[in-house]
Amino acid sequence: HIEDDLDPSQTLFTEEQIQARLKEMAVQIQADYEGRDVLLVGVLKGAVMVMADLARSLDRHVEMDWMAVSSYGSGTKSSGVVRILKDLDADISGRDVLIVEDIIDTGLTLSWLVANLKSRKPASVEIATLLRKPDALQMEVDVKYVGFDIPNAFVVGYGLDYGERYRNLRCISTLAEHVYR
Ligand code: PRP
Ligand code: MN
Ligand code: MG
């Protein structure tokens, strides 16, 4: 079972805690965007679960679009060079864009993405992320909606992967030692 790979003492957030926090974020977003159209932009693949649940917590019309990006360089993410694997379908000029992410780690992906989207002349670009690691930040990113700040430890679940696995967990947890051995 997938749960056997988790460290049971290191469940950061249960399904219930995640859903409760997303509902609070949705209330805030709903108030802030009242009277305006909003385009939610999910960053594949990690943001799939956050997008699905955050969007359904909103009692209003939204559009959803997706981007897939990949950081490349020498295997690490330190270069901050990002490549677009799948671009938006929508033209975002003049639109209010809300980027939806699962986690901001170093901030390199999002700082690049925000600059890229801003060059397309949208009316606004804001960020909603479920998780943020303040101790890992290498690039300052102006984030409007943050679910939880977490310590600088490797976490999986709810969209977050380790070697493409564990995205389908309902909770967010660290992995058990034996997984890395
Ligand atoms: C992860 C995560 C964020 C990004 C955060 O995506 O989903 O998009 O890294 O890292 P950063 O702040 O250090 O740039 P990843 O590149 O692993 O792709 P994935 O979403 O397909 O898992
Ligand atoms: Mn991602
Ligand atoms: Mg990943």
- Find the CATH number of the domain harbouring 85: 3.40.50.2020
Is 65 inside a domain boundary?
A: yes
Is 20 inside a domain boundary?
A: yes
Is 135 inside a domain boundary?
A: yes
Catalytic residue status for 149:
no
Output the six-digit token pair for 164: 């493409």
CA 181 to chain centre: 28
- Give the list of residues 6+ apart from residue 40 with CB closer than 8 angstroms, or none: 51, 54, 55, 62, 63, 64, 65, 98, 100
Is 173 inside a domain boundary?
A: no
Is 32 inside a domain boundary?
A: yes
Q: What is the complex's ipTM, to 2 decimals?
A: 0.98
Mutation probe of ligand 1 site: the residue of 41, 43, 44, 112 with most atoms within 8 A of C-beta: 43
Distance from residue 181's CA to the centre of ligand 1 (Å)? 23
Distance from residue 35's CA to the centre of ligand 1 (Å)? 32
pLDDT of res. 18 = 98
Instruction: Name the closest-CA residue to atom 14, ligand 1.
Output: 109
Q: pLDDT tens-digit profile of 147-179?
A: 999 999 999 999 999 999 999 999 999 999 999
**Is residue 54 over pLDDT 70?**
yes
Ligand 1 atom with the shortest distance to the CA of 43 = 8
Ligand 1 atom with the shortest distance to the CA of 161 = 22
Instruction: Name the closest-CA residue to atom 7, ligand 1.
Output: 46
- Please tell me which residue in 87, 105, 149, 161 is annotated as part of the active site: 105
**Long-range contact list for 142-146, CB < 8 A, 24+ apart?**
142/114, 143/104, 143/110, 144/32, 145/25, 145/28, 145/29
Count of domains for the chain: 1
Is 52 inside a domain boundary?
A: yes
The answer to whether 147 and 29 are in contact (CB under 8 A) is no
pLDDT of res. 151 = 96
- Greatest Cα-to-Cα distance within the chain, rounded to the nearest angstrom: 53
Q: pLDDT tens-digit profile of 2-42?
A: 999 999 999 899 999 999 999 999 999 999 999 999 999 99
Is 72 inside a domain boundary?
A: yes
User: How many C-beta atoms lie closer than 10 Å to residue 83's C-beta?
Assistant: 10
For residue 80, the ligand closest to its alpha carbon is: 1
Is 111 inside a domain boundary?
A: yes
Residues of the domain holding 124: 16-150
